[in-house]
Structure 1
């Protein structure tokens, strides 16, 4: 395995960042009354995924790093719920829901793989 020098080289972070950009784009068309409620909540949660991967990357011990990766995973589940809620409130279509939920699942798989790979060192 090649040495990773920056969090930006971590595939899980790359996928999480892709999800951040996608969610920001998706929520810009939410109703105005939701801009400081649901849109703000989902945006904070999705940013937390990528930010905690980045923060965990520079931690000295596996235990410290894993703590941040676990927070990322929790934020990811929060984003999935907000996608369900957005669909159920008819803020997004079923097709949009499936598209972004699938992307969130992809982030989940790569994050899990990253966490597991770090336990070996």
Structure 2
């Protein structure tokens, strides 16, 4: 099996992690154990699950880890939405982070559909 490092979705997920870290560095210090930790963990989990799934033994294992990565992306979407509504963080620029997350989610969705063509969920 080829390395996860060759997967464009993994490369974009790593860019997303960096973007999340850069964004959350601008958050108030009191969020270090709250929203900052949650957002960073969600972003890291996306990239980590892509990598782990790629090195599992079967296509079904890979598919399961892609689903976990996709779910972590949904968590991060929610956390970004919350951050954009909070008084102390709503004025930050979320464009780059949101665009990267959208791109990663679309890629994961396409990969999941390709690996599981019988899936009816979209």
Instruction: Calculate the TM-score normalised by the size of structure 2.
Output: 0.86
Please tell me whether the aligned partners of residues 27 and 39 of structure 1 are also in contact (alpha carbons under 8 angstroms): yes
CA distance in 1, matches of 2:5, 2:111: 13
Q: Which residue of 2 aligns with 1:93?
A: 91
CA distance in 2, matches of 1:103, 1:65: 22
* Structure 2 runs not aligned, ≥5 long: 118-122
Find runs of 4+ consecutive structure 1 residues off by over 6 angstroms: none
Residue 44 of structure 1, aligned match among 41, 46, 55: 41
CA distance in 1, matches of 2:114, 2:64: 15
Instruction: Calculate the TM-score normalised by the size of structure 1.
Output: 0.87
Compute the RMSD of aligned alpha carbons: 1.7
SS at match of 1:56: helix
CA distance in 1, matches of 2:83, 2:48: 23
Aligned residues: 116
Q: Does 1:18 align with 2:27?
A: no
C-alpha displacement of 1:71: 0.4
Deviations 1:72-115 (A, max 9, x none): 00000111111111110031436x23332222110111222333
* Structure 1 runs not aligned, ≥5 long: none
